[in-house]
Amino acid sequence: MSSRLDGRIGVVIGGGSGMGRAISHRLAEEGVKVYVADLNGEAAEAVAKEIEQRGGRAVPVQVDATSVAELRALYARIEAEDGVLHIVHNQVGMPGAGGLDVSEEEFQRNIDVNVKSVFYSATLAFDLLKRAGKKASITMTASTSALVGSPFSPVYSLTKSALVGFTRALALVGAPDGIRVNCIAPGTVHTPMLASFFGRERGADVSALTKEFVAGIPLGRGAQPEEIASVVAFLASDDASFVTGVTVPIDGGLTAK
């Protein structure tokens, strides 16, 4: 039986862990040859190996997504090997510095990781995506903190809400070439990064803070990474062929309150 993404070429940037790992697996299960790109080269290799062991196709690549030169090299490699790209998903991001007393260094780092990496990973892929026969999809990762303010890290809300506006703009640029551009806004997701959102303050009781936050989620729990991956696979597929320029909350009802 054929799968809905059979024969497509995709890249998951930040694919070595958590949601990016689950998204790499899900896309591969649906027929995509996945370039698993990550700053952590060993993690990328491990995920690519898991995919191949399950019968999928994957290529690990070590990439620092804050480096324009390294992103250019990633797309040059995909061009040389496949000549086309259908799916770009960017998962890269970091918790913002807490509070208002943010050093210029921390501020710049947050901008580089949460904004610069997303801008260039999407725009540098355009030429390859134009060759996808109007079946191309870009997805980027914001957060519920883009839709409601984060009192813990205003700079996180600043960087993540920038992606919501960028998604709309890029969707307009991509539309004539059939490149759809969408954004996901996960709430609380059980990944290795989750603890660092609650561990900003020295001595914070991460487990108690997480429990308290999760209790306020209407569905009463955090998400598993696979519940994010299924939405990204939908957005990448022809099932979402008329969906572009939107940000989809995946938050168990958090922003419905």
Ligand X SMILES: NC(=O)c1ccc[n+]([C@@H]2O[C@H](COP(=O)([O-])OP(=O)(O)OC[C@H]3O[C@@H](n4cnc5c(N)ncnc54)[C@H](O)[C@@H]3O)[C@@H](O)[C@H]2O)c1
- Map residue 229 onto helix, strand or coil: helix
Among 14, 56, 60, 174, binds ligand X (CB under 6 A): 14
Using CB under 6 A as the binding rule, whether residue 193 contacts ligand X is answered as yes
Among 60, 186, 249, 252, binds ligand X (CB under 6 A): 186
Among 60, 93, 98, 174, binds ligand X (CB under 6 A): 93
Q: How near is the Cβ of 113 to ligand X at its closest, in Å?
A: 6
Contact set for ligand X, span 129-168 (CB under 6 A) = 141, 143
Q: How near is the Cβ of 165 to ligand X at its closest, in Å?
A: 17
Which range binds ligand X by CB under 6 A, 63-71, 101-109, 128-136, 238-246?
63-71
Q: Could you give the C-alpha distances from 12 to 86, 183, 191, 209, in angstroms and in order?
A: 11, 14, 16, 30
Calculate ∠ Cα 199-200-201, nearest 5°: 95
Among 8, 9, 18, 110, binds ligand X (CB under 6 A): 18
Using CB under 6 A as the binding rule, whether residue 24 contacts ligand X is answered as no
Select 19 or 231, whichever has its Cβ closest to ligand X: 19
Select 7 or 149, whichever has its Cβ closest to ligand X: 149
Which range binds ligand X by CB under 6 A, 62-70, 71-79, 130-138, 172-180?
62-70
Among 12, 39, 229, 236, binds ligand X (CB under 6 A): 39
> DSSP label at 79?
H
Q: How near is the Cβ of 149 to ligand X at its closest, in Å?
A: 14
Q: Could you give the C-alpha distances from 177 to 137, 164, 173, in angstroms and in order?
A: 11, 21, 8
Which range binds ligand X by CB under 6 A, 78-86, 90-98, 128-136, 237-245?
90-98
Determine the Cα–Cα distance for residues 95 and 137; give it in Å rounded to an integer. 26
| Structure tokens, 64 | 């620092």
By C-alpha distance, which of 26, 30, 47, 29 is closest to 38? 47
How many residues belong to the site for ligand X (CB under 6 A)?
A: 29
Using CB under 6 A as the binding rule, whether residue 189 contacts ligand X is answered as yes
Using CB under 6 A as the binding rule, whether residue 118 contacts ligand X is answered as no
Q: Helix count (H) and strand count (E) of the chain?
A: 10, 7
Determine the Cα–Cα distance for residues 44 and 4; give it in Å rounded to an integer. 24
Dump the DSSP string for 86-134. -EEEE----PPPPSS---HHHHHHHHIIIIIHHHHHHHTTHHHHTTSTT
156 assigned to active site: yes
By C-alpha distance, which of 113, 142, 141, 137 is closest to 126? 137
Select 178 or 199, whichever has its Cβ closest to ligand X: 199
Determine the Cα–Cα distance for residues 135 and 137; give it in Å rounded to an integer. 7
Residues that bind ligand X in the complex, under the rule CB under 6 A: 13-14, 16-20, 38-40, 43, 63-66, 91-93, 113, 117, 141, 143, 186, 188-189, 191-194
**Positions marked catalytic:** 156
